Amino acid sequence: MGRICLFPIAIVAVVLLSSWGFHAHKLINRMAVFTLPTDVSRFYKNHVDYITEHAVDADKRCYVDTAESPRHFIDADEYGAHPFDSIPIHWTAAVEKFSERRLLARGVLPWQINRSYYALVRAFSELDFHRLLRHSADIGHYLADAHVPLHTTSNYNGQQTNQIGIHAFWESRLPELFSEGYDFFVGRARYIESPVDEAWRIVQESHALVDSVLALEAALSNRFPADRKYGYITRNNVLIRTYSDDYSRAYHEALSGMVERRMRGAIHAIGSFWYSAWVDAGQPDIRHLPPESPTPGTVPAPAADQKPLGREEWH
């Protein structure tokens, strides 16, 4: 079972979900399309449904590709009290310092974002329609994951602090309940000078929130009536035990807009990475690319783009 790709949402009944949850990942990718300037927005708007539906492909690959899971997280705390002072941001330097095996065990999320970025640049340069869509959807997924605090810690599901289930609670249950009230108008996408630096900035920002995510839930759990903490919902025709609406609302309020801010940040970052990849590819004319999205089964498998670790594309 993947370390980050699969999570229990309930305490008793285990429900397998994606990282942000299918609902949130799809919503984030979809809203990112509307941050783009005119020169690129037409292409993405033509394929907004594809970009939305395939926002969760990276999680689905965890079922069949054992190499996929480390791409969704980084256990920054495993590198010491001040991890971002000790982890080289460039892949080759990190391998020399820690070894590839050690890096894989602790997750490679920021390097994967950088790798996916340059794959998208190549797809733009070559006007490869299928790869453009696939890499756009995938980098959206990885960037969204990077905005989740619990994707940056070895205590990713509260297993070290007696808070099992907090991962899906924060990133799946809360968005499903409250995202309809969020403001997703985040402004125009911007050009990113250094994708690898930006990926690390996002991860560092997320990691700074880990203590709050855990401490606020622990404090709430201590004072909330135990008989009101859990409830039951039906998912895929299965009745499961999960956090109650009242407990979810109390935690959401205690977080003071954190989930909304991280989703907004993910939306703006995704649009900015798409736009920057187009600029770095030389601003190719993409207006003549097919207006219709490919049908299932017509997009080539990603194997050709998923080269082994250690190649120069990781930087």
Tokens encoding 82: 């001040």
What is this structure's pTM? Answer: 0.91
CB 258 within 8 A of CB 215: no
Model confidence over 30-62: pLDDT tens digits?
999 999 999 999 999 999 999 999 999 999 998
Tokens encoding 163: 């808070």
Model confidence over 72-93: pLDDT tens digits?
999 999 999 999 999 999 999 9
Name 173's Cβ contacts closer than 8 Å, sequence gap at least 6.
9, 21, 242, 243, 248
Bridge partners of residue 4, in order along the sequence? none
| Residue-level pLDDT at 300 | 56
Average pLDDT over residues 9-25: 55
Model confidence over 263-312: pLDDT tens digits?
999 999 999 999 999 999 999 999 999 988 887 655 555 544 554 344 44
Question: Position of tokens 């080269």?
Answer: 307
How many CB atoms neighbour CB 301 within 10 A? 8
Give the 3-state secondary structure of residue 75: coil
Model confidence over 236-263: pLDDT tens digits?
788 888 999 999 999 999 999 999 999 9
Please give the residue that has the higher pLDDT: either 313 or 182.
Answer: 182
How many CB atoms neighbour CB 207 within 10 A? 20
How many CB atoms neighbour CB 211 within 10 A? 11
How many CB atoms neighbour CB 242 within 10 A? 24
In the DSSP assignment, the letter for residue 171 is I
Question: Position of tokens 């949130």?
Answer: 24
pLDDT band at 12 (very low <50, low <70, confident <90, very high): very low
| Residue-level pLDDT at 235 | 74
| Residue-level pLDDT at 3 | 58
Mean pLDDT of the chain: 90
- If you compute the radius of gyration of the chain from its CA atoms, what whole number of angstroms results? 19
Fold of 7-306: P1 Nuclease (1.10.575)
